[in-house]
Structure formats: structure tokens, C-alpha cells
């Protein structure tokens, strides 16, 4: 067994190896690498990814024999806009190296039982062609956006650079985004998003007859379990909603039946006390934006409720309606909790992402504001009791909407916020900069420079701002700690009100916040204490 330890939160891991038969730790140790490691089939060779010590870009793949200690560089990604990642199919027959930028992929493959051989290119990189390769031992399956914005699936008996020879087995659908593929001996399991909701579709590999696993909640999230066995007739999946804790099921792909295995225990929690809703808000440009809601059943739309609204909207990452044990602390106090599924995620397909990045980034901010205003007009929220939360790129969302509509929110929590966009994207030595030009735009080009500058939260002016609580970590590998520090200093200098602006820097944490179960809960409690303080002051409780 290989296991990695990061004691700072900077995402540099030291790996050690344990003999599972004797229980002894081997003397071999790999230091300062990523958490990305894959075993070959010989029980003594591992491949791992190493990052650049300055930019933190994952750029090198090494092969290491844990018996001899022999180490060799097998791949170096020289393009600074790409990062590398190792993965293995469920069959365990092949090991893959994926070189990824925001919009482009190139994959190399190697049969796992021949670790000494060189990796072969599956298909050369081509601008804006994204693909993923899986295998069924006897053939390959490719999920590709070639002439298919929401992706489609091809079957190949052997790798071929001539895509006209690829056999399409799952066509492109304008209303459905294919998010992942898991290949079993007899089945293909396809994870999809349709109308903003997760689906799992099972295909018979021989007949390609498909069936959906049925789900009934209005708003939920579901994902295929990573611990899959290639020859199994069962696929394991995790299901949860904003009111239902994570529940694990086995689905029999032959009998088409589900069996519940376990629901995460939450002491004293009763899901029947809560309800979830899913509404659609019309944005200012006519776009319909989904919003997921959680509240107690005894909370009505009377225009008097405090609202805690969350958003992200970047990198094509969907803000799934997950169960949160901690959010119940607010919900039990009468808050309505809302997730605004703004553009920049992939909830409604690849176009939803494209419409919230680059020169369309302001759609994310407009959507969040429009969702907030709609929840007020629909009487879900008291307009004087609106609180917003966003982290990382969601912190950028918080800063931008705060600049645009400071009157709309009583308080905002911005966790590890990416707020100094223009300065960061101009400095190629900073982690993530060069690999994200397709996400934010390259400010070395005048058009992008002016557009980014127009929304970057540090581009601010004297005005009245809402109460603000900002958090950061000294070892943050994604958003360097000086970004929120600089932002807070500027706001304190320019603001024309007497509202709070608080900055908390965790001196022993990284981007993910405090380590350990209880320390992370304490951080979340601090966020909520800030919100409850503001709401208590409003009520005259403090």
C-alpha cells in the first residue's frame, strides 16, 4: 500500500509504502509530490506525478521500482498551459497519462503488466478537443467532444488517429451532458446531466440497450462509486439530496434492481422535518437559471425569512445539491438555504459552462444577483436579511456581486477568495496562471485585460459595502494568501460605511482550510457565527 501525507496544506505529499502481509513500513520514501499515484501490475512498480515547486503545475511523471529504488522520468509536459494526471481503468489493464488544459486533452497509454515499456500517444492534442479513454480489456471506449458539445462515446478495437474510423455507440444529445464513463466486463455505466439533474444510464456492452436508474426527488445528486470491480454485475452509487444524507446503493445491472446498503448516520437528525424545492429563475437576458432550496417544512414563503445563498460558477464544476450536516445549524434557525446554479458550471450542459467563462464571465455574477432578487420577489426571503457565501472562484463571485450590488446583501462570507484576478493572471510564476487562460482569458491581450479589470473585485471604488468576513490560509496552493489580504486592505481604505470587514488567516492551513474533523467544523461555525451575529443585531438580540 502506498500512502501520502501533507502536513501543511500546500498539497505537497510525502509517500511511504507498507507491506500489507508483514505490516512493516518500507524504508523507501518519495518526497514533495502530488497525491496522484498508480500501481503497475507487477506489485513493485508505481507511477507518480510531480509538480513544479514554484508554479505547482503537475508536470512530470516518474516510474519507481519500490524494491530496487530505481527511479526514471517517463514523461515531462513542457507546455505550461497543460498539467498531467495518471489514472487507471476499472479493468486495471492499462495505465493512462492525461495531459489537460482547460479545453484540450492528450492521452498516453501503457499496458500495466509491462511497466518498463514507453507510453504511447492515443491521439495527438488538438485545440479544443477534449477526450477521455477507458478500456474493456478487449477494446477502448472514448468519451469525446469531437463535433459534440456535450460529448459522445466511441468504441475502438485499437487506437487510431483517424477519427473517421471510430465507431459511435452513444450519440451526442443537445439536452444531455455526458460527465463520465465506467466500463465493466458486460456493461457501460454512463453518468449524465439532463435538465440540471444527475442520471446514471446502464448500457449492455453487446446490445447497447440502455436503462436509467430511477430517482424521484426534485433536487438531488448521485455519483458512481470509484471502488468498482470489473467483472461485477453490480455498480455501486452514492445518492443524496439537500435533506437526505449520503446513501450507498448497489444496482444490479442484470436484474435492474437497487439495494440500499447504508445511509450515513446523523445523530438526532430527522429528514422528515425538512423539504427541498427546485425553482427556475428568469435572468435579465431571458436565461432560465435553476435554484435548489432547503428549508424546514414549517417555513413558509412569507417574505420574512433570512436567506443564506451559495454560488460558485467556474471551471464547469456543477454546484450539486449535496447534503450538509453543518448547514442545518442555519436551517433549524429558520433560514432558507439556496444554491444558485449560475452559468460557469455544467448543470445545463457544456454551453452553461461556456456562457460563464472568458468574455462571458459576467453572466455568473448577473445570474447570482438575479437569483437573489427572484427569491425576494417570490417571498422566500426578507430583503433585509440576505447573506451570501462563496469560496475560491466562488469568492470571486462574492467580490464581484458585492461591487455590483452592495445594497442587496446584509452580509457576505468569502472563503479563500480569488479576488485579484488581473494581477494574478498577469504573473506566470503564480500557481495555476498559465493553465487557466482559457478559463479567465489572457490579460496580455487588450480585450481580455479590459474585461477582467472591469469585474475583478480589487477594481473597486469608494462606496458603502455589506458586512464582510474573509478567510484565507497561509499555505494556500490555489489562491495565494496575499490576494484576500490586499482586497481587505483596499476595501477598508475605500469604504464609506461603518460595517464590519474581518479577515481571518489560518497560519497552518491551505486552500481546503483546517485539517481534522473538529477543526474544520470550528471554521464552519465561525462562518455561521458571523452570519448569526449580523442577523441577531438586525433583530436587536445583540
| Active-site amino acid positions | 392, 476, 511
Closest of 415, 406, 532, 520 to residue 473, by C-alpha:
415
Which DSSP letter does residue 163 get?
Answer: G
Q: What is the dihedral of CA 367, 369, 375, 376, to 10 degrees?
A: -160
CA–CA separation, 294 vs 322, rounded Å?
A: 11
Q: What is the dihedral of CA 183, 188, 189, 191, to 10 degrees?
A: 100
Tell me which residue has cell 495531459.
99
SS3 395: helix
Measure Cα distances from 125 to 74, 77, 101, 113, 439 in Å: 18, 12, 10, 26, 18
Strand partners, 181: 190
CA–CA separation, 104 vs 160, rounded Å?
A: 18
CA–CA separation, 452 vs 429, rounded Å?
A: 19
Phi/psi at 369 (5° precision): -65, -45
Q: Residue 26's Cα: distance from chain center in Å?
A: 35
Tell me which residue has cell 497525491.
35
Question: Would you report the helix, strand and coil content of the chain in percent, each value rounded to 5?
Answer: 20, 35, 45
Neighbours of 151 (CB within 10 A): 26
Q: How buried is residue 485: exposed, middle or buried, by Cβ count under 10 Å (0-12/13-18/19+)?
A: middle
Which DSSP letter does residue 113 get?
Answer: T
Q: What's the length of the chain?
A: 542
Amino acid at each position: 500500500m502506498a500512502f501520502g501525507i501533507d502536513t501543511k496544506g500546500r498539497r505537497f505529499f510525502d509517500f511511504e509504502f507498507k507491506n500489507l502481509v508483514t505490516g512493516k513500513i518500507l524504508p523507501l520514501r518519495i518526497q514533495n509530490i502530488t497525491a496522484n499515484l498508480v500501481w503497475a501490475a507487477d506489485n513493485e512498480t508505481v507511477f507518480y506525478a510531480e509538480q513544479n515547486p514554484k508554479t505547482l503545475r503537475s508536470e512530470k511523471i516518474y516510474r519507481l521500482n519500490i524494491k530496487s529504488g530505481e527511479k526514471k522520468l517517463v514523461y515531462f509536459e513542457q507546455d505550461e498551459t497543460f498539467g498531467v494526471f495518471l489514472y487507471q481503468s476499472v479493468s486495471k489493464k492499462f495505465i493512462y497519462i492525461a495531459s489537460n488544459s482547460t479545453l484540450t486533452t492528450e492521452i498516453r497509454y501503457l499496458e500495466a503488466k509491462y511497466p518498463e515499456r514507453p507510453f504511447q500517444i492515443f491521439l495527438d492534442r488538438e485545440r479544443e478537443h477534449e477526450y477521455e479513454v477507458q478500456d474493456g480489456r478487449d477494446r477502448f471506449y472514448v468519451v469525446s467532444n469531437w463535433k459534440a458539445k456535450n460529448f459522445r462515446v466511441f468504441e475502438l478495437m485499437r487506437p487510431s488517429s483517424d477519427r473517421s474510423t471510430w465507431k459511435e455507440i452513444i450519440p451526442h444529445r443537445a439536452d444531455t451532458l455526458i460527465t463520465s464513463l465506467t466500463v465493466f466486463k458486460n456493461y457501460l455505466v454512463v453518468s449524465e446531466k439532463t435538465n440540471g439533474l444527475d442520471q446514471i444510464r446502464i448500457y449492455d456492452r453487446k446490445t447497447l440497450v440502455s436503462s436509467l436508474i430511477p430517482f424521484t426527488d426534485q433536487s438531488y445528486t448521485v455519483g458512481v462509486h470509484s471502488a468498482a470491480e470489473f467483472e461485477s454485475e453490480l455498480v455501486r452509487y452514492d445518492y443524496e439530496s439537500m435533506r437526505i444524507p449520503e446513501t450507498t446503493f448497489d444496482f444490479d445491472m442484470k436484474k435492474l434492481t437497487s439495494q440500499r446498503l447504508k445511509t450515513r448516520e446523523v445523530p438526532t437528525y430527522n429528514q422528515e422535518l425538512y423539504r427541498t424545492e427546485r425553482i427556475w429563475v428568469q435572468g435579465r437576458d431571458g436565461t432560465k437559471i435553476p435554484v435548489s432550496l432547503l428549508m424546514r417544512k414549517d417555513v413558509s414563503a412569507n417574505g420574512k425569512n433570512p436567506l443564506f445563498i451559495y454560488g460558485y460558477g467556474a471551471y464547469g464544476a456543477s454546484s450539486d445539491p449535496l447534503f450538509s450536516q453543518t448547514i442545518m445549524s442555519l436551517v433549524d434557525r429558520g433560514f432558507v438555504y439556496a444554491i444558485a446554479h449560475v452559468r460557469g458550471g455544467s448543470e445545463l450542459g457544456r454551453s452553461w459552462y461556456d456562457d460563464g467563462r472568458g468574455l462571458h464571465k459576467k453572466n455568473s455574477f448577473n445570474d447570482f444577483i438575479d437569483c437573489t432578487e427572484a427569491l425576494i420577489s417570490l417571498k422566500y426571503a426578507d430583503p433585509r436579511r440576505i447573506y451570501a457565501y462563496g469560496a475560491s472562484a466562488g469568492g470571486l463571485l462574492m467580490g464581484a456581486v458585492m461591487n455590483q450590488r452592495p445594497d442587496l446583501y446584509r452580509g457576505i462570507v468569502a472563503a479563500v477568495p480569488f479576488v485579484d484576478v488581473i494581477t494574478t493572471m498577469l504573473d506566470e510564476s503564480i500557481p495555476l496562471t498559465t493553465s487557466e487562460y482559457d478559463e479567465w482569458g489572457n490579460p496580455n491581450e487588450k480585450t481580455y485585460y479590459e474585461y477582467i479589470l472591469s469585474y475583478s473585485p480589487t477594481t473597486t471604488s469608494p462606496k458603502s459595502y455589506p458586512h464582510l468576513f474573509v478567510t484565507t490560509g497561509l499555505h494556500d496552493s490555489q489562491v495565494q494568501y496575499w490576494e484576500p489580504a490586499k482586497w481587505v486592505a483596499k476595501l477598508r481604505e475605500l469604504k464609506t460605511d461603518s460595517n464590519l470587514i474581518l479577515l481571518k488567516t489560518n497560519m497552518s492551513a491551505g486552500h481546503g482550510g483546517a485539517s481534522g474533523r473538529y477543526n474544520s467544523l470550528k471554521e464552519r461555525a465561525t462562518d455561521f457565527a458571523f452570519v448569526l451575529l449580523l442577523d441577531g443585531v438586525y433583530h436587536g438580540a445583540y
